[in-house]
Amino acid sequence: MLRPHSWNLFRLFSRKVATDSRRLGIVGVPFEKGQPKPGVQDGPDHIRGIGIIKDLEDIGLEVTDYGNINYENTKTACIKNMKNLGDVAACTKVLSGKVQHIIRGGETCLILGGDHSIAIGSIDGHVTSLESDDDIAVLWVDAHPDLNTNASSCTGNIHGMALAMLCKELTDVWPYLPGMDWRKPRVSMKNIAYVGLRSVDSYERELIKKYGITAFGMHDIEKYGIFEVAERALEAINPHSNRSLHVSFDIDSIDSLEAPSTGTPVRGGLTLREGISLLEIVHNTNTLKALDFVEVNPCLGSTEDSTRTLEATKHLIKAAFGYSR
Ligand SMILES: [Mn+2]
C-alpha cells in the first residue's frame, strides 16, 4: 500500500509534460556589472568550454546555442545606491527579448551567467511570453534572497536586488528607474520559493515574513532532507503543475567547498549531491521551462577551485535536463 508520503512522491513524478521539453535553446550573458568582482562575465564561455552542449545532446536534447548577449549601454541618469543601472537595464532588456524568442519558439531555455542581476531579464522574458503573469512559478536557489532595494542595500550591487525588481508586491518601493521603462514587475510573491538561504539581511527577512514567501533555509534541509524540501517548495508555487517553472540557480547555493569560484561564497551550503537531487526532482516535474545558471566566476581562486566549480556546474545543469545518475 502506498503511504501518504509515497503517494505525494508519485504525484510529483507523474506531472504532465507541459511543453516539448527536449528542445533546448542556450543563451550566454557575459555580464558582471551587477556586482564588483571581475571574471563572472567569463562564465558562459567557460561553461560551454567544459563540453556542456555535447553532454546535453548525449542525454537526448536537441540543442541550439544562440551565442552571447550583446548590448549597448544606454547612458541613463544615476539612481542613488544602484551601481551600473544603465548597463543592467540595457543588458536585461536584450536578454528579455531573447528569452521570449526562445520560449515562444517552443524551446526550453538555459541562460548562462553572468551575475544574478541577469535574472531581471530572463524572468521578465519568461513571464512575458506566457498568457498570464500568474502562469509562472519561480524557484530561487541561492544562499541570498536578492530582495534588497536601493534603499536597503549596503552595497548598491544590483545582483542583490534582482528578485525585488521582479516582484509585483514591491512595485511601489522603487523610485523611477531610468532605462527600465520596457518592463514592470510581474511576478507575484506567492509564486516564488527559495531553497538554500543562509545569508539573509534583516530587511529581506522582514519581507519574507511579511509576504509569507515560501523559503527553505539550511536548517529546513537539515531537518526534512532535500527531497521533502524540494517537493514542498514545488507544491507551494505550482500546486496544479500548470505553471511554467523558472529555476534561478545561483552557484553560491552550493557549499563553497564544492563550488569555491563565486563572488559571494558562504560556507555551510547545499552539498553537490543535494543540488543534483533538487534539480533531478525539478526535471521530473516536467514543468521546467527556463534555468538561469549564475555567479560562476572562473577567475576567482586557484585553477583547481575553478575546475571544481565548473565540474559542479556541469553535474547540476545535466541533472536539471534529465541526466540520470
Ligand atoms: Mn543570487
Distance, first Cα to last Cα, the chain: 28
Residue 202 has which C-alpha cell? 534583516
Range 19-320 classified under CATH 3.40.800.10: yes
Predicted model pTM = 0.94
Q: Which DSSP string corresponds to 88-116? A: HHHHHHHHHHHHHHHHHTT-EEEEEESSG
14 alpha carbon to ligand 1 midpoint, in Å? 30
Q: What are residue 27's phi and psi, to 5 degrees?
A: -130, 135
- Given a contact cutoff of 8 angstroms between Cβ atoms, the answer to whether 145 and 253 are in contact is no
Instruction: Please report, for the chain, how many H helices and E strands are present, in that order.
Output: 11, 8
pLDDT tens digits, one per residue of 21-58: 599 999 999 999 999 999 999 999 999 999 999 999 99
- The whole-angstrom separation of Cα 118 and Cα 78 is 19
DSSP secondary structure letter of residue 26: E
Alpha helices by DSSP H, listed for the chain, are 4-13, 43-49, 52-58, 85-104, 119-128, 162-166, 202-211, 218-224, 226-237, 272-284, 303-320
159 alpha carbon to ligand 1 midpoint, in Å? 6
- Alpha carbon 252 to its chain centroid, in Å, reads 11
Higher per-residue pLDDT: 241 or 78: 241
pLDDT band at 76 (very low <50, low <70, confident <90, very high): confident
Q: Which DSSP string corresponds to 220-252? A: HHHHH-HHHHHHHHHHHH-TTS-SEEEEEEEGG
Per the DSSP assignment, residues forming a β-bridge with 167 are 187
pLDDT tens digits, one per residue of 135-171: 999 999 999 999 999 999 999 999 999 999 999 999 9
- The whole-angstrom separation of Cα 22 and Cα 17 is 11
Q: What are residue 214's phi and psi, to 5 degrees?
A: -65, 120
- The whole-angstrom separation of Cα 14 and Cα 109 is 22
- Given a contact cutoff of 8 angstroms between Cβ atoms, the answer to whether 59 and 322 are in contact is yes
249 alpha carbon to ligand 1 midpoint, in Å? 8
Mean pLDDT of 54-78: 93
206 alpha carbon to ligand 1 midpoint, in Å? 18
Cβ contacts of 66 within 8 Å, gap of 6 or more: 25, 26, 27, 98, 102
- The whole-angstrom separation of Cα 21 and Cα 156 is 38
pLDDT band at 74 (very low <50, low <70, confident <90, very high): confident
117 alpha carbon to ligand 1 midpoint, in Å? 8
23 alpha carbon to ligand 1 midpoint, in Å? 27
149 alpha carbon to ligand 1 midpoint, in Å? 14
pLDDT of residue 21: 54
The average confidence (pLDDT) of the chain is 94
161 alpha carbon to ligand 1 midpoint, in Å? 9
Higher per-residue pLDDT: 76 or 324: 324
Q: What are residue 109's phi and psi, to 5 degrees?
A: -120, 130
26 alpha carbon to ligand 1 midpoint, in Å? 20
77 alpha carbon to ligand 1 midpoint, in Å? 25
196 alpha carbon to ligand 1 midpoint, in Å? 11
235 alpha carbon to ligand 1 midpoint, in Å? 22
Residue 312 has which C-alpha cell? 559542479
Residue extents of the structural domains in the chain: 19-320
Cβ contacts of 190 within 8 Å, gap of 6 or more: 212, 237
